[in-house]
């Protein structure tokens, strides 16, 4: 059962069942969410005068009696599993109230939201992901020491509470050492994209299986997508067993080492909890302050710090005493130094502004432009392409508008969009570009104006049977704060005299890209 993110905002009182008194003390107030095994309510413990979360059993009436009994026993085990753990990152169970033979679990109300909900808005930085990972690891260590396997570690079961508290919840399918299995014949419990390969194969799981799931959670937290998610459950399970995910592009250093180690198919070769803790602590540690640069401004001092510091700091005397133009010049100098995308425009290049796209491109001045037809639908007008006379090198930019994304196809981060495209390239190719399946790709994280972005370089040989040619694509991804997804693509020959020229064009086009809605 998926634990509900326990937001404690006021909710409409018209939920069916609201106002009901459970076990003579728990007054149901509003539904917080539901999953496969129950509905979670915000409730008032009238005896203790406090708000709690109450999980109502949710079992279809048409189920055979044996399966209903199994579901109720699973809920009792959830309560026992959580209650035997003493750790601040494990949700506290207060009571199990039995009503008409059905167990209602009474838990602490964690005020916050789930990690899954947070990831709908974007990915986490390395330090924050590592901090959350450390708390989940602590909960798992406490569970494993008590002989409990969680078996369903995923973002929706990680709650982000007040005061930076992180709570692992929903022990509904936990396995307690010494107790018999409740899985029905042919049944499968857990979330496929987060489940360890040994469990898919029906082998006996252990603590390493929960750590695998933690590795997938950390990957999803930094990259924005699970590396094993596919369009259906069988395909997802096959990818868990057989796919080697691309190295995380946004995570680096110790966190990347944790993720790569935990996603080893062989549980015996995964790092131990102690090793994971050491690496996560290192990754969560604040970086050392960058050296401070000092700029003299007419007798005053303007201090600047690098990307790891706190940015620009101007002394109060400088602001009051120095001329505004002098201070402005110092600020401008800092911005030019600090901005990694501030690149000089190459000789023979020009800028081309497209207000409707909200973008300014830098392209060789003699490149020819191609635009959408005038009568194209609005969603089909969000692109423009420039190419040299031979057609061998071309630069294109397209934008997917959040306002036009009725099917929610835009990913929640540049990295997630890049990995989704990467998966398409690997599994089906891109036949509009005469691309075969399984091209060589090089995904990586980057930044645009201090915000997360992503890139991919795709190398392939065209599928033209008469004249196959090597090609390269350099694709830059950026998602604006408004949710629009920009892709800048540069295509050029993958071998020959024009390869280096194409790579230079790609480098300059990306370095000089200006997005108005960033």
What are residue 318's phi and psi, to 5 degrees?
-65, -40
> Which candidate in 45, 152, 210, 421 is catalytic?
152
Residue 152 annotated among the catalytic residues of the structure? yes
Interatomic CA distance for residues 518 and 510, integer angstroms? 15
Taken in order 141, 143, 146, 148, the sign of the CA dihedral is negative
Q: What is the 3-state secondary structure (H, E, C) of 203-242?
A: CCCCHHHHHHHHHHHHHHHHHCCCCCCCCCHHHHHHHHHH
Question: E-strand spans in 388-450?
Answer: 394-400, 440-448
Q: Strands of 344-469 (E only): list them.
A: 349-354, 359-364, 368-370, 383-387, 394-400, 440-448, 451-461
Dist CA 91 CA 139 (whole Å)? 9
Using alpha carbons, select from 474, 470, 465, 471 the residue that is nearest to residue 503: 474
Q: Is 449 annotated as a binding residue?
A: no
Sign of CA dihedral 152, 153, 155, 157: positive
The three-state secondary structure class of 151 is coil
Distance CA 383, CA 365 (A): 19
Helix (H) or strand (E) holding 74: helix 65-83
Catalytic residues: 152
Binding residue positions: 55
Binding residue positions for ATP: 55
């Amino acid at each position: 059962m998926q634990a509900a993110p326990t937001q404690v905002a006021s909710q409409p009182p018209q939920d069916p069942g609201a106002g009901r008194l459970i076990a003579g003390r728990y007054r149901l107030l509003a539904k917080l969410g539901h999953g496969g095994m129950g509905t979670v309510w915000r409730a008032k413990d009238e005896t203790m005068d406090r708000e709690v979360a109450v999980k109502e059993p949710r079992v279809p009436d048409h189920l055979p009696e044996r399966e209903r009994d199994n579901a109720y026993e699973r809920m009792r085990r959830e309560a026992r599993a959580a209650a035997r753990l003493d750790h601040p990152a494990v949700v506290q169970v207060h009571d199990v109230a039995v009503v008409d033979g059905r167990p209602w679990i009474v838990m602490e109300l964690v005020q916050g939201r789930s990690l899954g909900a947070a990831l709908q808005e974007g990915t986490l930085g390395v330090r924050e992901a590592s901090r959350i990972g450390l708390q989940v690891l602590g909960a798992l260590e406490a569970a494993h020491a008590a002989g409990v396997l969680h078996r369903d570690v995923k973002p929706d079961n990680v709650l982000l509470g007040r005061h930076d508290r992180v709570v692992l919840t929903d022990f509904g399918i936990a396995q307690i050492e010494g107790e018999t299995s409740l899985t029905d014949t042919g049944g499968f419990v857990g979330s496929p994209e987060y489940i360890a390969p040994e469990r898919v194969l029906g082998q006996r799981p252990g603590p390493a299986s929960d750590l695998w799931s933690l590795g997938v959670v950390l990957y999803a937290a930094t990259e924005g997508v699970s590396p094993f998610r596919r369009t259906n459950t069988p395909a997802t399970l096959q990818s868990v067993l057989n796919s080697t995910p691309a190295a995380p592009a946004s995570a680096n250093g110790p966190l990347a080492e944790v993720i790569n180690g935990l996603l080893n198919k062989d549980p015996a070769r995964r790092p131990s909890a102690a090793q994971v803790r050491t690496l996560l602590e290192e990754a969560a540690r604040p970086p050392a302050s960058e050296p401070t640069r000092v700029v003299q401004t007419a007798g005053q001092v303007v201090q600047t710090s690098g990307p790891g510091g706190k940015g620009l700091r101007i002394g109060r005397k400088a602001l009051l005493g120095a001329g505004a133009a002098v201070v402005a010049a110092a600020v401008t100098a800092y911005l030019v130094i600090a901005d990694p995308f501030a690149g000089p425009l190459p000789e023979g290049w020009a800028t081309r502004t497209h207000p409707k796209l909200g973008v300014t491109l830098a392209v060789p001045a003699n490149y020819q432009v191609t635009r959408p037809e005038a009568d194209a639908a609005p969603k089909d007008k969000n692109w423009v392409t420039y190419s040299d006379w031979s057609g061998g090198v071309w630069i294109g930019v397209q934008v997917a508008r959040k306002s036009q994304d009725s099917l929610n196809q835009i990913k929640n981060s540049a990295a997630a969009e890049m990995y989704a495209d990467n998966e398409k390239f690997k599994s089906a190719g891109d036949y509009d570009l005469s691309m075969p399946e399984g091209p060589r790709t090089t995904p990586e994280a980057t930044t645009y104006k201090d915000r997360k972005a992503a890139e991919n370089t795709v190398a392939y040989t065209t599928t033209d049977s008469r004249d196959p040619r090597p090609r390269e694509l350099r694709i830059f991804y950026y998602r604006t704060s408004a949710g629009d997804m920009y892709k800048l693509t540069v295509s050029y020959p993958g071998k020959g005299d024009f390869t280096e020229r194409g790579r230079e064009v790609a480098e300059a086009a990306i370095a000089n890209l200006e997005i108005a809605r960033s």
